[in-house]
């Protein structure tokens, strides 16, 4: 196949940042996706509905004129130890907030204000279960005694599994799953538990971190894992199982913040997101499964209508730019200077 037309996809996990940085990255996502779940881990985290609505207004104002009505930001709240239940109710009633994000405190970028102990959130989670507002989970423990490659698996045992037992009706998205353990957990859980999968976790195994030297642009959290885990993700993504859907976790950081003695976690894929997923599905001989993964399963899980519009991709080689604009700094996109095999027309 050299040409494929699918329903316009959505990105169920996206970091847009704010201000000038957001202005520079937003168009990449809006060009491809109809909607995106916007992560709340700004420097000053989005902890209230008012903050989410103000952030949404800034995103819409920053959209290029031609995309004002074709891209919808779906907002989220950042869960803290002290998020009150009435804030959750306000969020749901706004109609604009579609999930509440759990960052274990210290797990990743701008997570310091995150949750230190999940039991402190039980009353809030009870409210979320009652009013049916999904919990979006960064699934890694932060215990320094746990090996960084095992943090997702241990999170399942220590936090997620008990959580699903205590709140059986809470809808949960296990975000950016990276291990066969996570895939199995989601497959074996109730229909309330789903997972997003990034393009970079489908394309890379952990050798990519050290290919001829240390590769900061392949560093993200959760960190990429062994080949057997990548294969499990690929199998899940191409299985037509409605529990698995597209979420890029595209996370821009400036070149100096990535190429640094202590480089930031995050891979920027928004410039070519659907093209990267298409390449992956093509390599797996599963192009016929792409549309459901990219355009149906996420919308169904979030109980939103599927998009009506279509997009077309052609099998045509093009070269990713070496760098992109990022508020006066440089942003190095995934596969910078390399060629991709599919292009959205
Ligand atoms: O690699 C990551 N980057 N993982 C995250 O969980 C956060 C993200 C970011 O915001 O930079
Ligand atoms: Zn993320």
Of ligand 1's atoms, which has the minimum distance to the CA of residue 265? 1
Q: Is 249 a catalytic residue?
A: yes
Confidence of residue 286 (pLDDT cuts 50, 70, 90): very high
pLDDT for the residue numbered 128? 98
Shortest-distance Cα residue to atom 3 of ligand 1 = 266
Which CATH entry fits the domain spanning 9-309: 1.10.10.410, 2.60.40.1760, 1.10.260.40, 3.20.20.140? 3.20.20.140
Name the closest ligand to CA 265: 1
Ligand 2 mean position, distance from CA 123 (Å): 25
pLDDT for the residue numbered 115? 97
What are the phi and psi torsion angles at 88 (to 5°)?
-65, -40
Confidence of residue 187 (pLDDT cuts 50, 70, 90): very high
Mean pLDDT across the stretch 125-138? Answer: 98
* Full-model pTM: 0.98
User: Is the CB of residue 102 below 6 angstroms from any atom belonging to ligand 1?
Assistant: no
Cis peptide before 222 (omega within 30 of 0): yes
Integer CA distances (angstroms), 111 to 46, 103, 285, in order:
11, 6, 38
User: Is the CB of residue 265 below 6 angstroms from any atom belonging to ligand 1?
Assistant: yes
- Whether the CB-CB separation of 308 and 330 falls below 8 Å is answered with no
Ligand 1 mean position, distance from CA 118 (Å): 20
Mean pLDDT across the stretch 255-283? Answer: 98
Q: What percent of the chain has pLDDT over 70?
A: 100
What are the phi and psi torsion angles at 319 (to 5°)?
-105, 130
Q: What percent of the chain has pLDDT over 90?
A: 98
User: Is the CB of residue 221 below 6 angstroms from any atom belonging to ligand 1?
Assistant: yes
Confidence of residue 233 (pLDDT cuts 50, 70, 90): very high
**Could you give the CA distance from residue 47 to residue 113 in angstroms, rounded to a whole number?**
10
- Flag whether pLDDT at 72 surpasses 90: yes
- Flag whether pLDDT at 122 surpasses 90: yes
User: Is the CB of residue 196 below 6 angstroms from any atom belonging to ligand 1?
Assistant: no
Name the closest ligand to CA 221: 1
Of ligand 1's atoms, which has the minimum distance to the CA of residue 264? 11
Choosing from 11, 14, 37, 41 the residue with most ligand 1 atoms within 8 A of its CB, the one to mutate for a pocket test is 41
Q: What is the mean pLDDT of the chain?
A: 98
SS3 323: coil
Mean pLDDT across the stretch 78-96? Answer: 98
- Whether the CB-CB separation of 105 and 82 falls below 8 Å is answered with no
Mean pLDDT across the stretch 32-36? Answer: 98
DSSP string covering 244-286:
EEE---B----HHHHSSTTPPP-B--GGGHHHHHHHHHHHTT-
Ligand 1 mean position, distance from CA 266 (Å): 5
Tokens 């009353």 locate to 123
pLDDT for the residue numbered 13? 98
User: Is the CB of residue 45 below 6 angstroms from any atom belonging to ligand 1?
Assistant: no
Confidence of residue 1 (pLDDT cuts 50, 70, 90): confident
Which residue is catalytic, options 86, 249, 282, 288? 249
Ligand 1 mean position, distance from CA 221 (Å): 6
pLDDT for the residue numbered 127? 98
Integer CA distances (angstroms), 48 to 22, 54, 86, 211, 303, in order:
20, 10, 10, 42, 23
User: Is the CB of residue 109 below 6 angstroms from any atom belonging to ligand 1?
Assistant: yes
The domain limits of the chain are 9-309
User: Is the CB of residue 197 below 6 angstroms from any atom belonging to ligand 1?
Assistant: no
Ligand 1 mean position, distance from CA 109 (Å): 5
């Amino acid at each position: 196949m050299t040409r494929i037309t699918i329903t316009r996809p959505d990105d169920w996990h996206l970091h847009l940042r704010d201000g000038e940085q957001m202005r520079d990255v937003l168009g990449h996502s809006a060009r491809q996706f109809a909607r995106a779940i916007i992560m709340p881990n700004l420097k000053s985290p989005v902890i209230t509905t008012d903050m989410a609505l103000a952030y949404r207004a800034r995103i819409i104002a920053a959209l290029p004129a031609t995309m004002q009505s074709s891209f919808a930001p779906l907002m989220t709240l950042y869960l803290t130890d002290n998020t009150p239940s009435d804030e959750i109710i306000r969020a749901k009633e706004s109609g604009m907030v579609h999930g509440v994000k759990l960052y274990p405190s210290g797990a990743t970028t701008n997570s310091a204000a995150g949750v230190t102990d999940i039991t402190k959130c039980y009353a809030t989670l009870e409210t979320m279960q009652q009013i049916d507002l999904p919990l979006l989970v960064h699934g890694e423990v932060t215990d320094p005694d746990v090996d960084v490659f095992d943090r997702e698996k241990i999170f399942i045992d220590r936090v997620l599994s008990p959580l699903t037992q205590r709140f059986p009706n809470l809808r949960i998205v296990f975000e950016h799953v990276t291990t066969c353990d996570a895939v199995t957990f989601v497959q074996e859980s109730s229909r309330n538990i789903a997972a997003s999968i990034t393009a970079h976790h489908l394309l890379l195994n952990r050798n990519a971190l050290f290919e001829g030297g240390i590769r900061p642009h392949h560093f993200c959290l959760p960190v990429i894992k062994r080949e057997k885990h990548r294969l499990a993700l690929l199998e899940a993504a191409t299985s037509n199982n409605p529990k698995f859907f597209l979420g890029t976790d595209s996370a821009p950081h400036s070149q100096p913040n990535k190429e640094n003695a202590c480089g930031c976690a995050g891979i920027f894929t928004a410039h070519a997101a659907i093209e990267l997923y298409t390449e992956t599905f093509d390599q797996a001989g599963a192009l016929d499964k792409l549309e459901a993964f990219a355009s149906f399963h996420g919308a169904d899980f979030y109980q939103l209508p599927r998009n009506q519009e279509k997009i077309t991709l052609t099998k045509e080689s093009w070269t990713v730019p070496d760098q992109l604009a990022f508020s006066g700094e440089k942003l190095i996109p995934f596969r910078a200077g390399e060629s991709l095999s599919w292009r959205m027309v």
